[in-house]
Each structure stands twice: as structure tokens, then as C-alpha cells.
Amino acid sequence: MAEVAITFPNGEVRSYPAGTAVNEAIASWNQDVARTTVAARLDGKLVDVSHGIQDDSRLEPIDLASKEGLGILRHSISHVMAQAVKDTFDNVQITIGPSIEDGFYYDFEYAETFTPADLEKIEARMHQIVRADYPFERRELARDQAVALFSDRGESYKVELINDLPEDVKTVSLYSQGGYLDLCRGPHIPSTGMIRAFKLLNVAGAYWRGDERNKMLQRIYGTGFSTSQELEDYLRLLDEARKRDHRRLGRELDLFQMNEEAGAGLVIFHPKGTLLRTVIEDWERREHLKRGYDMVIGPQILKADLWMKSGHYDHYRENMYFTEVDGQSYGIKPMNCLSHMLIYKSKIRSYRDLPLRYFELGTVHRHEKAGVLHGLMRVRQFTQDDAHILCTPEQLNDEITAIADFVDYAMKIFGFEYEVELSTRPENSIGSDEDWNMATEALRQALESNRIAYDINEGDGAFYGPKIDFKLKDALKRKWQCATIQCDFTLPERFDLSYIGKDGEKHRPVMLHRVILGAIERFMGVLIEHYAGAFPLWLSPVQAVLLTVTDRHIPYGEGVYRQMLDSGIRVEHDFRNEKLGYKIRDAQLQKIPYMLVLGDREMESGRVTPRQRSGKNLESLGVAEFVALVKEQCARYQ
């Protein structure tokens, strides 16, 4: 019998009879590794452990606990779930069921709706399947045979999937376990008995193939881990994440409300939320002025004709609100660019004037679909830290680089990591291919020359130009776009913007649309979750709270309060007739950075005793000293 030479990860080469299964080879090499191997790479190709090795090759076991192994495990659990669903309910069709970042899902077509009680039934059946320890068996079938097989079984989605495969695909692979059969590329874990810890989480609707024109399927989400300890840890983490949900903290910290009577997607900022927002906006103004931006303010509504000229009417109308004034149609602005264009056009511009950078904390309205609204993250009225930069094509790279630096600086100041994406031309868009290519290249070059790592997001640009998106994550790991840089050759064209060049001729400027924090509302949402409401001193709406020990300390407290207000500290007082411990607890729950205790000792010496949010007490110090301390700790943000 022929022999094959197998190279193991440690470099060891061993010889086996051809056809030896992957798991046998691994077991003979290292018994311990074999026990937790879920699949393997054979010369870089993913295979099941039951795969028979026919040629000399390099073999890398995939461990259950590795990221890849976990993905395979979860994918296998999704098959087990699909089996449990098929075993438990009639007239269910299976569609697709991949592993995802924190678990897996499977989409089903089923006339009834799955209820939470159904999930329990499904889980119960899954446990039986796991206990039965069915092997996952792979086989390959000619595609027409596979079509016939799934047609017989009434699985029309699987038939559609096979029919849509590229023509050169002649065979497909099928996996089965315990009477369940699925079309699947694999690999899978050896058998269902290897599954230790899983949980079904929720049911949701999902369009077949993610297309809203298609039928709505039912998606069951679940998660699985290699050990039950990890599962418990994950579930606890989910619970922690819920506690830092900005919608919950927004109420608990009295920052803002969304009110049913006011309308969906509309934020009402309470005093503390307004203070927080004001701190952020003040920071914005300072930083923009430092960087050569000019502050401007445009109107909230502009004539519909102007929105037609810009292309918004044709490409963005369904997101816009319109109103009528004296028989004239006006569009409520969904973006701030139009006024900025008009400012540019208000006089003849020279190349010496460029770049011009117009900055506006511009409030816009967008008619977002009801189902997408989400706390502060997705609203219908929001304020952008928006700017439009008009420059020559030669200045483009420097300007984009400066913006990327600004974003990076801002993210460091607020304490965020971020991811970068380059979004290219979408279907519904304006402008020539040539302009799009130039614009996209300008963005790409700026990213590359600054060595910024990025992903490409095909077809996700704005209708007028490509963009660089900067994404932040919320408590539940959902990504939100905050900063964005969009390169636009089209609007300057449509508005016939020009500048006089060195040559005395008219030239067309290029425009960059950009935001740094993005929508202030969304940014605040992410910020609240990022800090779990315990804002750093410079951002905290209330920086210090005065706590009297008894009523006789109130007059002293009033003096201290006055003094601190005068010094520009954001201070509150709690002079209630309550025990100190009670007031400390309250202040602690409000996540106030400094609690200043005022008792006999402080009153006599004219001092305050700060307690930090961390629970640590500082030495008593004079009011002026405390003010200086706060100012010093905020200095680098000013």
C-alpha cells in the first residue's frame, strides 16, 4: 500500500498508509491534541477529522478552543439546532445557518411563529441529539443528484442555493447527522457529543438572502462555547452590557428622554445631558478654530428647488421632510452642505483663499424608517459636527490627512479605538465614473500614505461621492459610524463653484464633506456606553457634589457652593437631612467624580474632604486648592 508523508506543526514528518484519516494521524502523533481537535487544515485546506489523507501533506489540527475551532463548533451546533427544529415541527424548510462573531443562527421558513417556549423545546431536543453523539458524516454528490435529493425532501431553498452555484461547480458536499441532511461546505466537528455548552438566545425576522424584496424567514440566534464556564461568562457579559446600555443610563443619570408624545426618534436633552453635550460642543469649537476652520450657521429649511439642483431631491427625497411656506415648497435640511456652498459662492474666490473650511454644528432632520430607530444612536433629528472643505485637487491629500489626524486626535481624547472603512460608489449615485475614480483614489492614497489600516466597503458610498468611515463599537459590540470623510467632485460642478487660478482662469474646486464625532447624539450614546456613565472629570456633567454631614453645615456648604460656581466648576449640592452614607450612595450611583464632605472638621478649617468615585479619600484641602486640582486634571482637554 502506498505511503504518505505527513508534516505536523512541530516540523515532525511521519509516514502513514494512504487514506489514513486525519484524526488517526493526529492521534498517533499526539493523543492530547487529538482529543480537542475539531477539524484540520491539510495543505491549507479545511477538512474534517474523518478525511482520508491521499497525498504527502502538511497537517495542522484546529483546536476546539481556537477562534477557528469555535467557529466550526458553532456552525455544527447550528446544524444540531436545525435538526432539532425539523424533528420538533412539521413543514419547516431549512435555509442557511452560519456561525457569526458571538455565536450562530439558522434561518427557517415556517408558517407558524417560533415562541420562547418553542426555543425551550428545541433546546431540549438538541440536548438529546448531543447525548446521542451522532457522527457528522460528509458525502459528495453530483449537483443534479443533490437537486433531486433536496427537491424530494421539499427543501426548495437548498435547491435554489445549488442552482445558483457557478456552472463549473459539478459536485456539492452534504453533511448529515442523526437523520438530518444539509447542504454544507463543512468542515464539522466529528460528532454531536463534542458539544458541551450552547444556548438559544432569540428569534428574529430576516429576509431570505438579506434582500427586502424576498420572503421574511425566521431566524433563531444562539451561541455555543467549548466549555460551560465560557458560556456562563458570556451570558454574564451580555448582562453587564445591558447595564451600560445608554438608554438605561440616560434615564438613570437623568441625561435625556425620548418621549412617545413628542414623537419617535426625537431626543429631549435634560439639564445634565445638555451640560454634557455643551462640554463636547465647546471642545469642538476650540479644536476647529485651532485647525483653521471658519464657523458658519445655515438655515434649517431651504427651497426645494435648491435640493433639486443638488441632487438630494432625486436621490435622498424619501429621507427628507418638506414643508410649505407662502406657497413655496421648502426642504428641511438632511445635510448641511447647501448653505456652505452658497457661502462659497457669495464672492469670487482666488486660489489664494483655498482651502476654505466651513464648520457648522448643523442640526439636520432625516426621515429614518420606524424600525431602525435606536436610542441616541439612530434618531430623526441630530446635530453633526459638520464641515465642508473646498480646495484645489492638489490640496486634497493634505486636507484628507489633516482630517484623519483630527479624527485620531479626537478618538484619543475621548478614549476610543476605531476601525476604518473605505466605501465605494453605490448604485443610486450622481457624477461621472472619472470623478468617482479620482475621488476614491484620493481617499485611498491618503489612507495608504498615512499607513492607516482599512477595509473596503464596496458600494456603500454616499450618492455624491466615496467616503472613509470611522466606526466605534457600542456596549453590545454593534458598530456605529461616527467620523466620515467624503470626497465630492459633483456638487461643486452642480453649483458651478469656481476659483481663479494663478493662470487667471476659472477652475473647479473639490469639496470634502466630513464629520469628526459625527452625530453628537450618536457620539454621546457611544460615549455613555463606553464609560458606563462614569465620565472622566472633564466631561462629567457634574464634576463635584457637596455633601453636608448635618444641617448645621449647610451655611458653610452654601459658601463653598458659591465659590465653586464662581470658579467654573460644575458642582451640585446635597444638603438634605440624610445620613452621609445615604448621600454618598446617591452620588456614587450618579457616578459623580468627586464627593466633597463638609462636616465640623471642614467647617472649622475652611476646607473640603474629597472622596473620589473610586472610593478613595483624598486629604482635606482648601476650596481654591480643590478648584485648581480639578482645573489641572481637565487642562489637557482644553
Nearer Cβ to RNA (138/522)? 522
Quickly tell me which residue has 454621546 as its cell.
Answer: 524
User: Which one, 313 or 351, has the nearer CB to RNA?
Assistant: 313
Taking CB under 7 A as the criterion, which residues in 48-87 touch RNA? Answer: none
Our finding on whether 387 is near RNA (CB under 7 A) is no
Distance of closest approach, residue 200 Cβ to RNA, in angstroms: 12
Query: For residues 180 and 626, which CB has a smaller minimum distance to RNA in the complex?
Result: 626
Q: Does 375 bind RNA (CB under 7 A)?
A: yes
- Give the shortest CB-277-to-RNA separation in angstroms: 14
| Dist CA 350 CA 344 (whole Å) | 11
CA distance 378 to 396: 31
Number of Cβ within a 10 Å radius of residue 343: 17
DSSP character string of 492-547: HHHTT--EE-TTSSEEPPEEEEEEEEEEHHHHHHHHHHHTTT---TTT-S--EEEE
Active site residue 388: yes
Q: Nearest distance from residue 53's CB to RNA, in Å?
A: 39
Of 348 and 589, CB closest to RNA: 589
Tell me how far apart the alpha carbons of residues 564 and 545 are, in angstroms, rounded to a whole number: 10
Among the residue ranges 155-163, 257-265, 320-328, 433-441, the one whose residues contact RNA (CB under 7 A): 257-265
Nearest to 95 by CA among 132, 86, 518, 577: 86
Catalytic residue selected from 83, 218, 384, 486: 384
Minimum CB separation of residue 99 from RNA in Å reads 14
By CB under 7 A, the residues from 325 to 354 that bind RNA are none
| C-beta closer to RNA: residue 64 or 592 | 592
Asked if 3 contacts 57 with a C-beta cutoff of 8 angstroms, the reply is no
Per CB under 7 A, does 322 bind RNA? no
Catalytic one among 386, 469, 488, 574?
386
**Closest CA relative to residue 481, chosen from 507, 462, 506, 503:** 462
Closest approach of RNA to the CB of residue 144, in Å: 30
| Nearer of residues 264 and 456 to RNA, judged by Cβ | 264
User: Considering the rule CB under 7 A, would residue 113 count as an interface residue with RNA?
Assistant: yes
The span from the CA of 40 to the CA of 69, in Å, is 9
226-245 burial code (b ≥16 CB/10 A, e <16): beeebbeebeeeeeeeeebb
C-beta of 210 vs 327, nearer to RNA: 210
- Can residue 589 be called a binding residue for RNA (CB under 7 A)? yes
**Is residue 212 within the footprint of RNA (CB under 7 A)?**
yes
The amino acid occupying position 460 is: D
Q: Which is nearer to RNA, 143 or 248 (CB)?
A: 248
d(CA 468, CA 421): 6
498: closest CA among 486, 483, 511? 511
Contacting RNA within 459-488 (CB under 7 A): 460, 462, 467, 469, 476, 478, 480-482, 484
Instruction: Mention every residue, 6+ apart, whose C-beta is less than 8 A from residue 4.
Output: 15, 16, 17, 18, 20, 53, 54, 55, 56, 57
Burial class of residue 586 (count of CB atoms within 10 Å of its CB; 0-12, 13-18, 19+): middle
Burial class (CB in 10 A: 0-12, 13-18, 19+), 566: exposed
Interface residue with RNA among 617, 622, 624, 625 (CB under 7 A) is 617
482 noted as active-site residue: no
By the rule CB under 7 A, 379 interacts with RNA = yes
CA–CA dist 434, 184 (Å, integer): 42
**Residue among 333, 513, 514, 573 flagged as catalytic:** 513
Which one is catalytic: 138, 244, 467, 471? 467
- Confirm whether 133 is a catalytic residue: no
* Cβ count within 10 A of residue 530: 20
User: Beta strands 544-548 and 571-574: pairing type?
Assistant: parallel
Out of 74, 86, 188, 611, point to the residue binding RNA (CB under 7 A): 611
Q: How many residues bind RNA (CB under 7 A)?
A: 77
Please indicate whether residue 634 is annotated as part of the active site.
no
By CB under 7 A, residue 239 contacts RNA: no
Residue 462 CB, nearest approach to RNA (Å) = 5
Residue from 577, 619, 632, 636 binding RNA (CB under 7 A): 577
Cross-strand pairs, 256: 269
Nearer to RNA, 39 or 276 (CB): 276
Q: How many CB atoms lie within 10 A of CB 399?
A: 23
601 binds RNA (CB under 7 A): yes
184 an active-site residue? Answer: no
Binding to RNA in span 517-546, by CB under 7 A: 518-519, 521-522
Nearer to RNA, 64 or 92 (CB): 92
Q: Which of residues 419-448 bind RNA (CB under 7 A)?
A: 426
Hey, what's the cell of 307? 435640493
Answer for which of 597, 623, 627, 630 binds RNA (CB under 7 A) is 597
Q: Does 268 participate in binding RNA (rule CB under 7 A)? A: no
Query: Is 530 one of the annotated active-site residues of the chain?
Result: no
Instruction: For residue 263, state whether it binds RNA (rule: CB under 7 A).
Output: yes
Contacts (CB under 7 A) with RNA, residues 182-211: 202-207, 210-211
Name the segment binding RNA (CB under 7 A); options: 65-73, 141-149, 256-264, 443-451: 256-264
Q: Min. distance of Cβ 381 from RNA in angstroms?
A: 8
Among 15, 28, 54, 115, binds RNA (CB under 7 A): 115
Q: What is the 3-state secondary structure (H, E, C) of 157-201?
A: HHHHHHHCCCCCCCEEEEEEECCEEEECCCCCCCEHHHCCEEEEE
Cell of 486: 467624503
Catalytic site includes residue 467: yes
Taking the C-alpha atoms of residue 517 and residue 376, their distance in angstroms, rounded to an integer, is 14
Cβ burial of 36 (10 Å; 0-12, 13-18, 19+) is middle
Q: Which is nearer to RNA, 56 or 578 (CB)?
A: 578
- Distance from C-alpha of 110 to C-alpha of 129, rounded to nearest angstrom: 22
Residue 324 makes contact with RNA by CB under 7 A: no
Q: Catalogue the active-site residues.
A: 337, 366, 384, 386, 388, 467, 513
